[in-house]
Structure 1
Amino acid sequence: MQIIIDIGNTDAVFGLYNQTSWLYVWRTPARREETAESYEARLRLWLLEAGTPLSSVSHTVLSSVVPDLTPTMRTMLTELFGAEPVVVGPGVYPLLPLEILRPHEIGADLVANALAAYTRYRRNCVVVDFGTALTFTTVSGEGKILGVAIAPGLKTAIRSLFANTAQLPEVPIEVPTSALGLSTTHAIQSGVVLGYEGLIRSLVERIRTELNGDCIAVATGGLSGQIPSLRDVFAEVIPSLTLEGVRLIGESVRGAN
């Protein structure tokens, strides 16, 4: 068994993998003030509910874009399982079958997305990750990360309006019945949710044009299914793609040692 952890700016995602498939995926808020003991108690409970003894976990891999939480989670995994986790970062990138430009600038989650897409498709692919940030990571069929585009995520955009205006509420991420904005809630949903549909379609199309039309798109992230009308843009919608990439990074590191 393997425990794979992907810490984002909003959530920490834990996956339990049994060498062939994902058995469980758990999601919890990524709170910088939480202690290693707090996360350990949560993981122990999840494993107990899953009927998985600690002794059955042979490998752990950690990816984090929250520097304050990385040592906390690293300590928790080391103390709980008795061995250091593989930690995704520039130090392990030379062991991957990827060409990574500016390895000290790119997020670990984006490298994981690129590796998962390259391993799965072996062709030009743009991974659209619906997280705290909306990211577009393009990887070639030869395994070169060609570039990344970044925009505020859906929730980030809505919360920004709520935080920076006096009269606009925080609203759920739902597709409104009309683009006209027939209420305050629908007005925000029209501008953000429908507006982001146009943003995503346009940017994916521009990326494809720069690659002479030879590029598929795949969606991932916790909000990847929130705009159903985008399904025709994507070859697949795989919410656990980032976790899969983190797992594959762990395999590459262990295979090189």
Structure 2
Amino acid sequence: MILTIDIGNTNIVLGCIDGDKTLFVERLSTVRTKTELEYAIDIKNVLDIYHIHRDEIEGGIISSVVPQITTIVKLAVEKILKKNVLVVGAGIKTGLNIRIDNPAQLGSDLVVDSVAAIAEYPAPLLIFDLGTANTVCVIDKNKNYIGGMIYPGIGVSLDSLTAHASQLGGISIEAPEHMIGKNTTECMKSGLIYSSAAAMDGIIDRLQEKLGGEATVIATGGLAKKIVPHCRREIILDDDLLLKGLAIIYKKNRK
């Protein structure tokens, strides 16, 4: 059994993977001021909820886009497991052939998403990860990572809208009762959800044109479940994609 952790800007996603089975996936808030001990308590509490003892866990692996807390979380996990924990980065074998201007610039979360998708789905691939930022990974028919996109996430768009429009207040991110909104709240919800879904549909169309044919489209990330049901293109929702990728990379680097 492996403990897998992805540190994002908004959430830390953690789960245990045993062989091909994901035992659980949970989210903690990313708090840059927390100490090693505080993170250790949070992670230990999650393991306790699922009745998982540290002796059952072979090892751990972390990917992170928040360098300020990567080491803190690594030390927190090692405090629990009493084992060294891998961090995706320089010197880690991934097996991914990255064909962009500077492969070292590619975020570890995008590397891990791509490794998992290539292992599980037919190429070419378009991988959407919907979180604080929305990212798209493009994998060609030969399973090479050839580039992608980054654009504002739905939460960032909502924050910007409410910050710059004095008459608009905060809302929850969920589909409204009516697509054609009957009040300000419904109009905002409709605009956020359906513009995001339409953006995904449009991006898929354009990228498939560039690839010269149909691609397998996968969506993951904290907000994917809220947007994908409203898309018109065929999209596979895979909440566990990143954690499965971490498990694959862990096995490639196991001594």
What TM-score comes out, normalization by structure 2 length? 0.93
186-195 vs 176-185, which deviates more?
176-185
Could you tell me how far apart the structure 2 residues matched to 1:231 and 1:40 are?
42
Distance 1:84 1:30 in 2: 22
Structure-2 separation of matches of 1:163 and 1:91 = 42
CA separation of 1:20 and 1:197: change in aligned 2, threshold 3 A: closer
- Aligned partner of 2:6 in structure 1 is 6
Cross-structure match for 1:175: 175
Q: CA RMSD in A?
A: 1.6
- Cα shift readout 1:33-92 (whole Å, capped 9, x = no counterpart): 111111111222222222221111111000000011101111112222222211011331
Q: Distance in 2 between matches of 1:31 and 1:231?
A: 36
| Residue number in structure 2 paired with 1:148 | 148
Say whether residues 1:213 and 2:213 are aligned partners.
yes
Q: CA deviation at 1:181?
A: 3.4
CA deviation string 1:168-191 (max 9, x = no partner): 111112223444432211222232
Distance 1:122 1:216 in 2: 7
Aligned length: 252
Identity of aligned residues (%): 29
**Residue 103 in structure 1 maps to residue 103 in structure 2:** yes
Other structure's SS at 1:74 match: helix
**Greater displacement, 81-90 / 54-63:** 81-90
Which residue of structure 2 aligns with residue 233 of structure 1?
Answer: 234
Q: Give 1:15 deviation, angstroms.
A: 0.4
Asked whether 1:222 is paired with 2:222, we answer yes
Conservation of the 8 A alpha-carbon contact between 1:122 and 1:142? no
Unpaired runs of 5+ in structure 1? none
Q: Does the 8 A contact of 1:112 with 1:245 survive in 2? A: yes
Distance 1:177 1:23 in 2: 34
**Conservation of the 8 A alpha-carbon contact between 2:8 and 2:65:** yes
Partner of 2:249: 249
Number of the residue aligned with 2:87: 87
CA distance in 1: counterparts of 2:43 and 2:232, whole angstroms:
34
Which of structure 1's runs of 4+ aligned residues deviate more than 6 A? none
> How far does residue 243 in structure 1 lie from its aligned partner after superposition?
1.2
> C-alpha separation between the residues in 2 aligned to 1:231 and 1:25?
27
Secondary structure at 2:104's aligned position in 1? coil
Q: Could you tell me which amino acid in structure 1 is paired with residue 77 of structure 2?
A: L
Equivalent residues in 2 for 1:2-41 (5 A)? Answer: 2-41=2-41
Asked whether the 8 Å contact 1:201–1:233 carries over to 2, the reply is: no
Q: Give the secondary structure class of the aligned counterpart of 1:104.
A: helix
User: Following the alignment from structure 1 to structure 2, what is the Cα–Cα distance between the partners of residues 20 and 233?
Assistant: 25
Secondary structure of the 1:17 match is strand
2:201 and 2:232 in contact (8 A); partners too = no
**1:68 aligned partner:** 68
Distance 1:99 1:39 in 2: 34
1:238 shift after superposition: 0.6
User: What does 1:184-223 correspond to in 2, within 5 Å?
Assistant: 184-223=184-223
Q: Taking structure 1 as the reference length, what is the TM-score of the superposition?
A: 0.92
State the AA in 2 paired with 1:86.
L
Deviations 1:110-154 (A, max 9, x none): 111111111112410001111111111111242211111111111
Amino acid at match of 2:215: C
CA distance in 2, matches of 1:65, 1:151: 16
Q: Distance in 2 between matches of 1:122 and 1:191?
A: 33
Matched residues in 2 for 1:49 and 1:64: separation?
24
Residue of structure 1 equivalent to 2:157 = 157
Letter of the 2:230 partner, please give it.
S
